[in-house]
Amino acid sequence: MIPPIASRFVAGESPATAFDHARRANEDGVNVILNLLGEHYRERVPADEDTATYESLIADIGASDLDVCVSVKPSQLGLDVGEGVFRENFRRVVEAGREHGVFVWCDMEDATTTDATLDAFEDLAREHGGGVGQCLQANLRRTREDLDRLDDVPGKLRLVKGAYDEDESIAYTDKANVNEAFREGLELLFSRRDGGIAVGSHDPTMISYAKELHAEHGGDYEVQMLMGVREEAQRELAAEGVEVWQYAPYGDKWLSYFYRRVRERKENLLFAMRAVAGV
Ligand code: FAD
């Protein structure tokens, strides 16, 4: 069982607990993106198993009245085993989404995976005319060109700052430069796309900037934040009429995800220490 300390960031271990969480978030006007925890499989079997789990999760979401979609990780669907395995499994998940009316997002992992991920996304999005969305990382120097390339691709694009430590030759490593690249990425998205724009950030400055760009250019957009991070702000934005999606991971592989959340921010670390100390 997930200890209470981790349950701030993880929606339980089973689809049932994840659905309970989603129902509560939906009641507050917040939509939910479910992610089954799992990544970097070196063998095909677990990648195929997670693909099958996503297929049945999607069927259950489709049969429910919840505002829920899913987000997969390339290495969870077998990218470390081979690009062909990833493409096959990604296609299965997207086709299940299409069958049951459930949107499918694809996360972006480290820079060695960017080409394979974007190629698979572009092919599926063009083939299906939407129903699938891709995350892009503002910290990568290439992202401006990737946004050009994906300009007319159907589906949605989620811009994030980027969670992976990358070499300076391929990435902005200074916070100010990443923020500048994020702003430029938002400008490109809002000035060119009619909609399907997702702002994946907790940063109030970036969310305000997205609102300004929306007022200037129009185009449907949504704000995406993680479960357990600025949840009050998520509810407030939803109450203002902004479309908010909360990324909520679930599953038994929660420990490394929880450590990542705790390590990335001093406040989260203090929260974890207080919970352990019982204060
Ligand atoms: P930061 O630069 O971390 O923080 C900026 C400001 O935001 C802070 O000064 C503070 O005001 C506010 N803030 C941030 N965190 C907190 C907090 N815990 N409590 C209170 N205020 C806070 N990365 C990838 O590489 N690939 C992905 O596929 C991916 N998917 C993501 C999906 C979603 C929905 C989200 C939200 C993030 C995703 N990320 C992904 C992570 C992302 O790249 C960043 O590492 C992460 O979001 C932190 O950057 P930030 O924009 O939130 O702001």
Lowest pLDDT segment from 4-18, 37-51, 202-216: 4-18
Helix (H, G, I), strand (E, B) or coil at 222: strand
Q: What is the span of the domain harbouring residue 181?
A: 15-277
Does the pTM exceed 0.90?
yes
User: Mean of the pLDDT values across residues 121-139?
Assistant: 97
**CA 251 – CA 36 distance, rounded (Å):** 6
Question: Is the CB of residue 34 less than 8 Å from the CB of residue 68?
Answer: yes
Please report whether residue 180 resides in a domain.
yes
- For the question of residue 107 being annotated catalytic, the response is yes
Question: Is the CB of residue 139 less than 8 Å from the CB of residue 162?
Answer: yes
Ligand 1: residue whose CA is nearest its atom 35: 200
Query: In terms of DSSP H, where are the helices of 28-43?
Result: none
Question: Is the CB of residue 2 less than 8 Å from the CB of residue 10?
Answer: yes
Please report whether residue 8 resides in a domain.
no
pLDDT at 221: 98
Please report whether residue 2 resides in a domain.
no
User: Mean of the pLDDT values across residues 231-253?
Assistant: 97
**CA 20 – CA 239 distance, rounded (Å):** 21
Please report whether residue 9 resides in a domain.
no
**CA 179 – CA 160 distance, rounded (Å):** 10
Domain count, the chain: 1
The set of residues, in sequence order, having a beta carbon less than 8 Å from that of 67 and lying 6+ positions away, is: 22, 26, 31, 32
| Ligand 1 surroundings by CB, under 6 angstroms | 107-108, 135, 137, 160-164, 200-204, 224-226, 229-230, 247, 265, 267-268
Please report whether residue 4 resides in a domain.
no
The residue that leads in pLDDT, 109 or 257, is: 109
Catalytic residue among 48, 80, 107, 146: 107
Q: pLDDT tens digit string along 145-177?
A: 999 999 999 999 999 999 999 999 999 999 999
Catalytic residue among 87, 158, 193, 261: 158
pLDDT at 279: 45
* Tokens found for residue 259: 């450590």
pLDDT band at 32 (very low <50, low <70, confident <90, very high): very high
* Tokens found for residue 118: 């974007």
The answer, yes or no, to whether residue 135 has pLDDT greater than 70, is yes
Of 118, 126, 51, nearest to 81 by C-alpha is 51
Question: Is the CB of residue 34 less than 8 Å from the CB of residue 45?
Answer: no
Q: What is the CATH number of the domain that holds 212?
A: 3.20.20.220
